[in-house]
Structure 1
Amino acid sequence: MPSRLLLALALLGSAGACRLAAPEAPEPGSWAGTAEVAPVAEVTPVAEVTLEEDVECPRDEETARLSLPEAPGAGTNRYVVVRRCRSFHRAEDVCRRCYRGHLASIHSHSVNVRLRRVARSRTNRGQVWIGAITSPLCRSVFCQWIDRTLWNYAHWLRGYPTPAGTFCTSLCTANGRWRSVHCGVRLPFVCKY
């Protein structure tokens, strides 16, 4: 599957990429490292994951809900932090089937901070899934949101994203930084709908 994704991206010829070098921590609200973003008319789906018929929706006591404005003048987005651990793709299935959304895409520092706080207070884990997937692209890393929104903000921990293959992304509940994690790891997660 990853090789088909890379081939499709190479054939399209237009993709946002984020460079690996990020020697210093970015200013709040800025991108981690430098980023190159090309206008993208249509983004190739990150993964062709089919919805599982046996998705069990979380009970209310397993979740924390909040609404946040994405940016001044933009609409309000709703989020739900789910405590039950799932693999990345299974978590995406839950977000799609139970909330008619996706794993959360994050487009501002203020939203990143609020989601980190809620995830830290409502989960007993150090990381939660968010909706980013990274893949190697030439000598850099291609970053994209699973909901196909524009890649216009990042908050990577130093040394990330990992260039060694396709990885999913977690938000650290201690410092709000993002890490590359194998997609099969089971973590709590944040849905955006």
Structure 2
Amino acid sequence: MLSLLLLLLVGTTFAQESGDYAEENFDQLIKVTNDEGNNFESFDEANDEKEDECDENGLSLSQESDNIEPDVTEKAEDAVCPDKGTCSYHVFFASRTFQRARRICRCRRGNLSSIHSYGTNNFLRRFLRKTCRNISYVWIGVWKRNTCFPYRNIDRSRLDYANWASGQRKSYGRWCVAMNLHTGQWFSLRCRTRLPFLCTF
């Protein structure tokens, strides 16, 4: 009986150790698969200020190659800019990752555009379709930091409107959001995807 108990104890310990190893490897595989080279340490709140430091010309020291100007600017109506009296939307045709697009907007004292109503979404879709004939998607200012965080506006305003395409409000992992210019619907894409982008400032 004692030898049977001892055998059971050793077997359980071995199985548990093997299971732990398999579980650790599975977690690592999930992490690698979801990240797909998508390195987000730069999105940590602690690093936000450092990453967005801008020189006196409005450009961060790490972005000299991104000294680009908006291709099209459209002044918005008061109703389209709920947090400000007036604002303008600026479209950059140059394709950038979400993080790089965010930096470019912030170094011009703005941000990737947050959208707070159907009217604004429709206004932007029409404006972008008219000016960006060869472009299908643009980054907007919505992202999901990781599985534990909800989608939010990058400018920290309340996410009080969304226009998700079917199945696109993905819950697991890290995602950045782009608008489809043909439909106005929102898609969750890998943040290292390079797309044109829309800033508000």
Q: Structure 1 length as normaliser, TM-score?
A: 0.67
Shift of 1:67: 1.6
1:125, distance to aligned residue in structure 2 (A): 1.4
The two structures, once aligned, show a CA RMSD in angstroms of 2.8
Aligned partners of 2:72, 2:47: CA distance in 1, in Å?
26
Which position in structure 2 is the counterpart of 1:106? 115
**1:78-157 alignment, distance < 5 Å:** 78-97=88-107, 99-123=108-132, 124-134=134-144, 135-137=146-148, 142-157=150-165
| Alpha-carbon offset, residue 107 of structure 1 | 0.4
Distance in 2 (alpha carbons) for counterparts of 1:46 and 1:161: 27
Provide the secondary structure at the position in 2 that maps to 1:179: strand
Distance change (3 Å), C-alpha of 1:55 and 1:73: closer
Match of 2:117, as an amino acid? S
Task: Provide the C-alpha distance between the structure 1 equivalents of 2:46 and 2:198, rounded to a whole number of angstroms.
Answer: 18
Secondary structure in structure 2 of the residue aligned to 1:115: helix
CA distance in 1, matches of 2:83, 2:152: 24
State the identity as a percent. Answer: 31
Deviation at 1:88, TM superposition (A): 0.5
Q: Match for residue 50 of structure 1?
A: 51
Contact 1:87 1:187 in 2 (8 A): yes
Asked whether 1:186 is paired with 2:197, we answer no
Unaligned runs of 5+ in 1: 6-43
3-state DSSP of counterpart to 2:159:
coil
Assess, with a 3 A threshold, how the Cα gap between structure 1 residues 147 and 189 changes in structure 2: closer, same or farther: same
CA deviations over 1:104-161 (Å, ceiling 9, x no partner): 0110111111111122222221100001112323xxx601111010111111111121
Decide whether aligned partners of structure 1 residues 75 and 148 sit closer, same or farther in structure 2, where only a CA change above 3 A counts: same
Could you tell me whether the CA contact under 8 Å between 2:69 and 2:92 is conserved in 1? no
Which one-letter code corresponds to 1:162 in the other structure?
K
For residue 83 of structure 1, give the secondary structure of its aligned residue in structure 2.
strand
Q: What's the CA shift string for 1:8-40, capped at 9, x where partnerless?
A: xxxxxxxxxxxxxxxxxxxxxxxxxxxxxxxxx
Of 146, 150, 165, 2:173 maps to: 165
Residues 1:110 and 1:57: Cα distance change in structure 2 (over 3 Å) = farther
For structure 2, the 5+ residue unaligned runs are 1-38, 53-59
Which amino acid in structure 2 is aligned with residue 125 of structure 1? I
Distance 2:93 2:83 in 1: 31
Question: Higher helix share goes to which structure?
Answer: 2
Counterpart position of 1:63: 72
Q: Would you tell me which structure has more strand in proportion to its own residues?
A: 1
Structure number with greater Rg is 2
